[in-house]
Every structure is written in C-alpha cells, then in structure tokens.
Structure 1
Amino acid sequence: MIKELQLRISLKEEERSDILLQKASHILDIDKEDITGVKVLRKSIDARKPKIVFNYKIAVYIREVLPKTSEYQFDYKDVSKAKPIHIIGFGPAGMYAALRCIELGFKPIVLERGKNVKDRRRDLKAINRDHFVNEDSNYCFGEGGAGTYSDGKLYTRSLKRGDVRRIFENLVYHGATDQILVDAHPHIGTNKLPKVVQNIRETILKHGGEIHFETRVTDFTIKNNKIQAIQLLNGNEMPANRVILATGHSARDIFYLLHNKEIALEAKSFAMGVRVEHPQHIIDAIQYHCSGDRHELLPPASYSLVQQVNDRGVYSFCMCPGGFIVPAATANGEVVVNGMSPSKRNNLFANSGIVVEIDVNKDLPKYEQFGALKGLEYQKNLERMAFTAGGRSQVAPAQRLTDFVEGRLSADLNPTSYQPGLNSAPLHSLLPKLIGSRLRKGFDSFGQKMKGYYTSEANIIGVESRTSSPVCIPRNENLEHPQIEGLFPCGEGGGYAGGIVSAAMDGERCAEAAIKNL
C-alpha cells in the first residue's frame, strides 16, 4: 500500500533525520516497522512568517518495496543510417530535439556555431580577464547554450506545453542530481551543468547522431518556398529538407538573414533593465527574519518581486542567490550582464535582473523603420550605451541603488562579483525614461515590500537586456514556418520558450513535428 501525505515540518524538527518517518507513523497510526520506505515527492520552504516551515509531499510505502528505477525510460536507437533531421543550435531546445529524434528513429545532425563546453571555458575567461568577446563562443553561444554557464535554473510555468517531469528525468538520466525532481524551484548549478551537457552529447554521438561544433550557418537555399540546403561559413553546403531552428534569443545574424531574405518575422514584446546585487546576508535577513547568520539547514534566500508602474510590469528575473554576475555580450562593442549560481549557491552576493516590460507596439515609435527588428535595434542601442558608459570595455556601468533612485552619481561603489569590474555612471539619466523612471519607482516599491532591500549596500549594474527574444519567427499549428516548408522555428530564439525547461519541451515538440510527415 502507498499513502501520500502533506507534512509541515518546523525548522527544529527538520534537524532530525527520521522526522518524516516519525510523522508518517503518527499520522497514519501505524508502527514504524510497517513502513518500508518514505519517498519525498516535493519539498519547499515557507518563510513568510518568523516561524519557518518546510512543506513536504511524501509517498509512504507500507509493507511494499520502494521502486529503484524511474517510471520514465528513454529508448535511444541506433540511427547512424536513418533519415536525417538538421538542427541548428545546441542549447536546451536543440539538445532535446536531437534526443527526441533518436528516440523516434531519426538521425539528428546538429550544427553549433560555438565550441564544446570544455573549450568554451577559455573564451569565457577571455571575456572576464581580457574583455574580448569571441562572437561565436561566449556565455550565450556554445554547447548547452546560454544556460550552461548561467545557472541551470529549471523552474517553469509552462506546464501545459509538455511533460515537465520527463524533461527533469532526462536530466537525471544524464547525470543531474535527483534533488531536481523534488525541489519546488530546482537548480543544477553552473559548476555541474557542463557535465550533464557533455553526457547528452555523448548519448547523441553513441547512437549515431552528428554534432558539428564551430559550424556557423550563414544562409539557406530555398526553392519554391522549401528548404533545400544549409550554407555554412566555411563555404560548404549541406543538403537538408527538415531544419529545426534552435539558435537562441541572441543569434541576431539569423534574424537579419531571415529578414533580408524576406522571410516573415514579427516584432515581439520583451523586457530590459539592470542587475541588482546585494550582499547575500541582507537578503537572508529579510527573507528569514534573522539578525545573524541564517540557520545551516536553510539555503541562501531568494526573492521574487513584481510591481505595476505606469501600465508596465517591473519585475525580478533570473534571481541568483549566492551567485555571480557575468558578462553576457555576444559581440565586442556592447555590455550585457546576466546572473548565475554554483550548485551550493555559496557566493557572498545575491543578484537578480530587475526589468521593465517593453511593448513593441506602443513603446518604440522611433524604431518603426526597422519593422520586425525594432525591438532588436532598441536592445542593441542600450547595450552600446552600456559599453560606452562602462569605459568601452567589458567593465559595466553601475550605481549604488539608493543613488540611482534618488538621481545622483555614486562617489564610489560596493564590492561586486562581476569580474570585469564596474565604473560609476549616472544610469538614472542614461537609461531611457521608458525604463529608468519605472525602475526607480519599482525599486522604491520593492523596498516597502522587503524592508532592508532598498539600501546603499546594493549596486545596480547595466544592462540586463537578454531576458527573451525581441523577435518572433512565426509558425503554424504544425510548428512549421507558414512561408517556408521544412523550417521549424524552435525555443527561445523563435519566441516560444523562456528558459531551459520550456525550451527543452519545445525542442521535443519540434522534433516530433519535423518527423511527422517524413
């Protein structure tokens, strides 16, 4: 017999290793010896009140053997001689599209402009140390996509787009800790995700798939509105009739390519703003109602904030407790910041994007000349501004939070996790009013919601601009581009995902769609 229970465990009770067994025995009124196992299905922390509680959902096995294997099985076939499906991009969407192709008996041929995870590290070091951006290998481009070296958060609200549990189980199958199956806000960590990504690559190659790194796509051969071939930067041409386009939200050259070929694109609303960085102990004190160090059983505290300001949402994005701020530019001449955390989230700082919704149909009248690319051009201009304000390197413009809100240049700045360094700049006047004025009001509101959040000990760092794609590549109900047969826009770059999990689910769906009529 298996019984499911919901338990609320106090911080003091959580210290006991057998507390779940004890609680289950008491609630079910059965002897502990009759319980053959307790499996945690879900775990979260409720810290809204000073008395912190751990919420558990558990399965209690009564005189029944606890299963040792997952109910999810991944049947990867030998596809070395199977029909090919071409996949451009090897981020979450491209990886899961390739894995799904193999399950369905088709050969994925993956073209990735960047390097593998190991070789990619040298290019990340060059950004941080030498302020040089390799435009094909950086925090956004390369094996595993933007998520590989930017945290590995797995929380998603896209529960209707596919089987979320299947995505998680596949990550565990490839080496992620099974804790991600339990945590309410699962997270792999930027130190562990590269190994998972490498294992996925090895699965694809072992079963006959192909992965070509440092292979940038520059054009498509299209005849009678059908994909015929893919043109590569090295001059080679690759025949193809089914192409899954999973290039990510920062592959601007792909948007320009499609636009210049008069292939339909659409402007899409997105969000832009800054990163705010606090000492982690401040966020811990606010969220856990403590004056000293947080309890050892509590993880570094996170937060989620949202406020409507002048008919636009101002909200936290990609919050990284115990994390780092990293330079996420994809070209020289721009500064972009993003956040990441190691698996233990044990850095001294907490950072989060704080961004403002941009409605491309209302907010960008000066950019109408760019048509579907107007949001992209607006995005680029702010990144160039940040480059100039930072000192024309990967040093980022920054300001103390209180100075930003109160409209004065900071005489000095707080310590930071951002390795290239910071330069004091008047972001309150440099950011467009559309963004800057709403951020200032938003921060003031957040300070009222979280007492202690509004402090001179926090820096804001600009700009956080790559929250999502400012361009949508349209597709019909069959997930195919309505104009080009054989082209399947996919994931964040197509405008159909907003993170690792939703991109992975979309990758699987596009693989199934591309295969359907073959």
Structure 2
Amino acid sequence: MPRTVDVLLDPDAFADEARLRRAAARKAKLRERDVRHVVVRRRSVDARGGEVKIRAQVELWKREPPPSSRPKPWDLPTLRGEAPVVIIGAGPAGLFCALALTRAGVRSIIIERGQAVSQRRRDVADLSARGVLHPESNYCFGEGGAGTFSDGKLYTRAHKRGPVDEVLRVLVAHGAPLDLLVDARPHIGTNRLPGVVTSLREQLEHAGVQVRFGARATGLRTKDGVVTGVELDEGEHLDAAAVVIATGHSARDVVRFVRNAGAAVRFKPFALGVRVEHPQPLIDRVQYGGWAGHPVLGAASYRLVQRVGETSVFSFCMCPGGHIVPAATELDGQVVNGWSPSSRRGRFANSGFVAEIGAPQLRALGLDPNADPLAGIEFQRHYERAAFEAGGGAFVGPAQGLRDFVEGRHTNELPPCSYPRGVSSVRLDELLGPLASPIQAALGEVARSMPEFLGPEALAVGVESRTSAPYRIERDKDTLQSPSLARLYPCGEGAGFAGGIMSAALDGIRVAKAITARVRTSGAPRRASTHPDGLPAADSDAT
C-alpha cells in the first residue's frame, strides 16, 4: 500500500520529478531510494499572500507499481420493455438521472428539444458566425445542456467528496482527461466535453434508454393531482409513471406549463450584469507575479466577491484563456456567456460580473414576484431585449470599456474582444440603470487592490443574465416530488436545485435514487408498465 503525504512546493520544485520525490519522501520519513513511484492524487495552486505554491497530495509507492487510474464506464444492464420514467432534458441532470436509473434497473426515455452534438455544433456555428439563432438548438438547448458549449467547469460547493468523485470518474471513463481526478478546480473544456457527452449518451442507448432529440415537451398530463404523462409538439404524448423536469435554466416555456399543471413554483433570487474581459497575460501577472506563464500553473483565474450595501456582487463562470459567446435562446434577446478550451491558451480571460437580483429590484421595474413567481423571467427578458436593441441586432454585443463603465462615460474606441458577433460601443451603465450602481462600486473596490483590472484593455459586454433560474419548482425534501403534483420530480438547475454541471449531475443521481426507492417500496412486478399507480423496473438482460 502507498504512503500518502501532502506537500507544498514552488512551481519549479513541483515540475522537477527528483525534487518532488525528495520532498515527498522527506515528508513521509522514507529513504528517497526506497521510493519507486510518485503519484500526484490532488493538486491546487495557492497564490495567497503574494507567494505562489502548489499544494499536492502525493502517493509514494515503495515496490509495486501504481494501479491503472483510468476508470471504466459503469456496468449497466440492458433493459427492455416500456420506459415508465420520462426525463425532460438531456443536460447533466437528465443524463446522470438516466444513468443512475439504468444501473438500478429502471428504464427511462429522455426527450430533448435541442439537437445531438453533431448537429448542435452547426447550429451554434450559425449563431456565432452569421447571427442566425436556432431557438431550439443553441448554446443553451441540445445534447449535454448549456454546459456542453459553455466551458465544462466542474466546480461545486458540495462537501461530500464521494458523490463528486463518482461523477468525475464517470466523465473520465467517457473520455475526459485524467487530470479531472487530480485538479482542485477540474475543467474539461468546451472542445472536449461534446465527445464525453456523446459517449455517455451512447452507453445509455446501448443499455436501453431511448434519447429523442428535436422533441419539445409542451405540457403535462395529470389526473387527480398525479402526473400521468408528457405532451409533445405535433400532438404526440408519452404515458409516464414519473416525470423528471431536468431542463436547465433557460427553458422558460417548460416552467410555465409545469406551473399551469399544478406544480408549486416560487421566485428565487438570481444575478444579472455584464461579462468582463481582459488579456489573459494581464490576469496571469496579477495573480502569479513573476511566476506568470509557468507551465505548471497554466492560465490564471480569479474569484471576486464584494458587498455593496445590501447587494452581493460577484464574478461568475470565470473562463481563463477563453471566449465570450452569444447564449441567446430568443430572437430578440441578447445574452452572453463564456467558455474555455481544455488548453486554456486563448488570448483573453473573461468572467461574468453580476449583482444579486431580489424582490426589490423586480418591484423597481414594476414586477411583483409575490403575485407572479415567474416575474424574474420578465426581468431577465427586459434587459436582454434592451441589450439586443442597443447592439443593433444580429446579436452584436453592446460593450463599454470597463473603466468607462465604472466612471459613466462613452468609450470612443473599444479594445480587441473575443466575442464572435462583434461589439458596438454602448453606455452599458445607462442600459443597466439602477443595476449598474452596485456593479460599478464593486469594480471600484476591486481596482483598489488590482488597478490593472480597470486598465485600457479591459472591456464589459452585455448582458450576463442567465446565471441561474429565477424561480424554484418546489419539491419535498424527502421524496423529491412536487408537493402539489405527485410523481413530478423537479431536478437540476432548471428547477432551482443546482448551479453548474457538477451540482446538476449530483442532483440527477439524487432524484434517480428517490425514484428507485419508490420502485423498491411499491412491491411492483419486474415487467415494465406505464400505469400511473405503479413504477415497476424494466426487464433486464444483465449478466
């Protein structure tokens, strides 16, 4: 068995195998010559206090070689028969829900309004290159959800390491880099994540899960307060003994028909603002000083949080070496997001910089979240439409120099920008109105310690509005079903229970376990059925 120690080394020492071995052996109180293999299991960059160090958890092997560390895909049974569970949405919540259900012997069908990755790439390219939006297949809708083409970061605030590692191992088994299991801030990259998602979906299909792309849910069928099926466009419907809503934060029509069917929905605070961009070397110098550019460190990131009066302002979805992209889902709304390739070697760094939006901000716009729990959608839409008009249409980004944004003046000449649709000089501070004030104040505070943050090459592009769903579909904390609509399982980011790929995947697994527990306590037979009073598992060809 190996000895495990924690080491703290400067980047040069960590990059030198002999120095790493020497430091780890000394920490483990072993003779260096007795250590045959050194395996890094965890790695993070610590740049606090002006010193840049690598914190690493290291295994020392004295004789036997380390075992192969690439995990294999889950061993799934092959299921036959009807699919009693309908999952709406093929993002991380939906895919991992189907994966966990399949492993438990419960067959499901996934319906996804968007397209598979191969077609979705072309649809996204149409938007980026020509300004042609496909409302059902874009940066938000399609195989893998919004995360497929928006960076692939896997950070989470979840404290239970076991479930997090389980998700990471699944992703690595389907082609994600092994570094996912090592890095403290794991990241797949938008160039690699589509292949991982496709591999996972193909395994599900091989196990008997049906995945239907270009299938848009338009309503729920209910009877006596119980969900019995899903209505699709063109008049089709699917019977179901359980329905999982896993649609992501931008499926505005879905939450409306879910509420109309009887599910309780309430307003949830969210955030809105701009996406800021800097040259990546500038961020590297600010964060790493003289170590900037070291190959062990890679592109630097940052996380900023400021409190301005009663309002929280913070960076969101920071993308080192990345690109700003058009993330609209409506033809008259301008939305931006960001992504990074796996290498993170792009010229720019970008991040959302957003202010918390609550009931007071909605009321200032004449919206009442108490009377309409979906008022946050109209709040988002107001600013998205204003930004679209300000940019001149065709998803051109309204932009302003970051210092000019803070100081409230027009930018005569915009610096270079990664946004593919181009940018137009606009007074974003005026466009955002009262929302601009806390963001301006927060950026001013950031500049006190990092003056370069408001330098001449820093830019703001609008608007960053899809940070999370501005509502929550209520669910029971034990059964995870809607308390007002039985057999409906709100799940993931679009239901208000996750924020990103990892937390959405974890919630998908959690919902699958709740459904499976119902199967096991119902005493239902093994043969599949879509009868609303029972949720049996499917027949299995597992060996």
**What TM-score results when the alignment is normalised by the length of structure 2?**
0.92
The answer to whether the aligner puts 1:217 opposite 2:195 as a matched pair is no
| Cα distance in 1 between the residues matched to 2:263 and 2:400 | 42
Q: Distance in 2 between matches of 1:82 and 1:230?
A: 15
Deviations 1:367-389 (A, max 9, x none): 01761011111011010011011
Name the structure 1 match of 2:398: 397
Distance 1:52 1:487 in 2: 49
Query: Percent identical across equivalent pairs?
Result: 43
- State the alpha-carbon separation in 2 of the partners of residues 285 and 310 from structure 1: 31
- Provide the residue aligned with 2:526 in structure 1: none
In structure 1, what is the Cα distance between the partners aligned to 2:94 and 2:504?
9
- In the TM superposition, 1:188-203 aligns within 5 A as 188-203=188-203
Shift of 1:412: 1.5
Give the aligned partner of residue 67 of structure 1.
Answer: 67
Please give the alpha-carbon distance, in whole angstroms, between the structure 1 residues aligned to 2:511 and 2:48: 41
Most deviating of 24-33 and 272-281:
24-33
- Are 1:36 and 1:66, in contact at CA under 8 Å, matched by a contact in 2? no
1:469 & 1:417 partners in 2: Cα distance?
A: 26
Segment of structure 1 superposing worse, 249-258 or 464-473: 249-258
Preserved contact between residue 84 and residue 239 of structure 2 (Cα < 8 Å): no
Give, as a single letter, the amino acid of the residue that structure 2 aligns with 1:356: A
Q: Structure 1: where are the runs of 5+ without partners?
A: none
**Residue 73 of structure 1, CA deviation:** 7.2
Q: How does 1:201-240 map to 2 (within 5 A)?
A: 201-240=201-240
Q: What does 1:24-423 correspond to in 2, within 5 Å?
A: 24-68=24-68, 74-81=74-81, 84-160=84-160, 163-290=163-290, 294-360=293-359, 363-364=362-363, 366-368=366-368, 371-423=372-424
CA displacement at 1:72 relative to structure 2:
8.3
Partner amino acid, structure 2, of 1:115 = Q
**Deviation for aligned residue 1:66:** 2.1
Report the alpha carbon displacement of residue 122 of structure 1 after superposing the two structures with TM.
1.1
Q: Indicate if the aligned counterparts of 2:390 and 2:426 stay in contact, CA closer than 8 A.
A: yes
- In the alignment, does 2:474 pair up with 1:480? no
Quote the Cα distance in structure 1 between the aligned partners of 2:243 and 2:261.
17
Structure 1 residue 331: Cα displacement? 1.1
**Any idea what SS the aligned residue of 2:359 has?**
coil
Contact kept, 8 Å, 2:123 with 2:137, in 1: the verdict is yes
Between the aligned partners of 1:259 and 1:226, the Cα distance in structure 2 is 13
> CA, structure 1 residues 146+71, in 2 after alignment: closer, same or farther (shift >3 Å)?
closer
Letter in 2 for 1:507: G
CA distance in 2, matches of 1:48, 1:210: 49
Q: Tell me the secondary structure at the aligned position of residue 374 of structure 2.
A: helix
Q: Contact 2:46–2:53 (CA<8 Å) still a contact in 1? A: yes
What SS is found at the alignment partner of 1:289?
helix
Shift of residue 321, structure 1, vs aligned partner: 0.6
Aligned to 1:514: 515
Task: Check 1:325–1:15 CA distance in 2 against 1; reply closer, same or farther (3 A cut).
Answer: same
1:82 to 1:36, Cα distance in 2 relative to 1, 3 A: farther
Could you tell me how far apart the structure 1 residues matched to 2:504 and 2:254 are?
18
Q: Deviations over 1:234-268 (max 9, x none)?
A: 22111112111101110000122123344321011
Partner of 1:504: 505
Cα displacement string for residues 256-299 of structure 1 (whole angstroms, at most 9, x for unaligned residues): 21233443210110011100000111111111113x96223321
Deviation at 1:355, TM superposition (A): 0.5
Query: What is the CA–CA distance in structure 2 between the aligned matches of 1:469 and 1:51, rounded to whole Å?
Result: 38
C-alpha spacing 1:28/1:262, structure 2 compared with 1 (3 Å): closer
What is the distance in 2 between the residues matched to 1:439 and 1:51? 29
Partners of 2:459 and 2:505 lie apart in 1 by: 34
Q: Secondary structure at the match of 2:171?
A: helix
SS in 2 for 1:59: strand
Contact residue 161 and residue 506 of structure 1 kept, 8 A: no
SS in 2 for 1:148: helix
Over aligned residues, Cα RMSD in angstroms?
1.8
Q: Give the Å deviation of 1:161.
A: 9.6
Task: Flag the 1:293–1:165 CA change in 2: closer, same or farther, 3 A.
Answer: closer
Q: 1:411 to 1:361 in 2, by over 3 A?
A: closer
* Counterpart contact for 1:315–1:354, Cα < 8 Å: yes
Cα deviation, residue 176, structure 1: 0.8
1:484: how far off? 0.9
**Moved beyond 4 Å, runs of 4+:** 69-73
Higher mean C-alpha displacement, 30-39 vs 439-448: 30-39
Output the CA distance in 2 between the equivalents of 1:40 and 1:99. Answer: 29
| Distance in 1 (alpha carbons) for counterparts of 2:437 and 2:178 | 43
Contact 2:47 2:53 in 1 (8 A): yes
Q: Which runs of 5 or more structure 2 residues have no equivalent in the other structure?
A: 520-543
Say if 1:453 and 1:69 are closer, same or farther in 2 by CA, change over 3 A: closer
Q: Is the 8 A contact 1:226 1:241 kept in 2?
A: no
Is the partner of 2:451 in helix, strand or coil? coil
Letter in 2 for 1:46: D
CA distance in 1 between counterparts of 2:438 and 2:145 reads 31
Instruction: Measure the CA separation in 1 of the matches of 2:218 and 2:73.
Output: 38
1:454 matched residue in structure 2 = 454
Residue 428 of structure 2: aligned partner = 427
Alpha-carbon distance between aligned partners in 2 of 1:342 and 1:174, rounded to the nearest angstrom: 18
- Provide the C-alpha distance between the structure 2 equivalents of 1:83 and 1:337, rounded to a whole number of angstroms: 37
Number of residue pairs aligned between Structure 1 and Structure 2? 516
Could you state the TM-score of these two structures normalised by the residue count of structure 1?
A: 0.96
CA distance in 2, matches of 1:179, 1:485: 42
